A = this chain, B = another copy of it.
């Protein structure tokens, strides 16, 4: 398959495919001559994945590159790979002041209340802290009760997800990394729809 066929198969302009190639989101095809390269189905799938990540998931090209790099070549520790994937995902949080001996107090308290592991090196801890601080700054702090409710439901979802993780290591990495990124928009959309559903049932209109 030449580049124009690849672009057509993915429904993208050739110029955009070239751009992704330049940016390292798409592996180069096999060069068959100075002006020809060969692409296959794996390239088509990769382009679809790139569009899923930069579109609905809302990643920048840079963030997508980091996620794809993890899928292409994960470490041998799945737990660490999950951590790296979360670190590559938005929201980006500024690194904590190394002087500060308790940089994430809200997140620490939340995780302790939930009885979960608190590891300040995990990117999601900083993300939780910043989300809690933002809600607080905006005048809508999150109560312990709400945190417990959200945390409990999130944990149930996580248990479900992990139970269905494929056994084969390579698939497990893809499942973990891509599942984190791809399924988040689904969960958010469902939450919004559930709010609508509950509101409708309670007749909270005018």
Contact = CB atoms under 8 A, between A and B. Distances in A.
Nearest to A47: B137
Interface residues of A, number: 88
Contacts of A197: 116-117, 155, 158
Given A149-B160, A154-B191, 9 more contacts: A51-B134, A56-B91, A79-B200, A117-B200, A125-B193, A128-B186, A131-B185, A142-B183, A150-B183
A52 interface: yes
A1 B190 CA distance: 43
Copies in the assembly, this chain: 2
Interface stretch (A13-21, A24-32, A173-181): A173-181
A187 B154 contact: yes
Contacts of A134: 51-52, 55-57, 182, 185
A188 B150 CA distance: 10
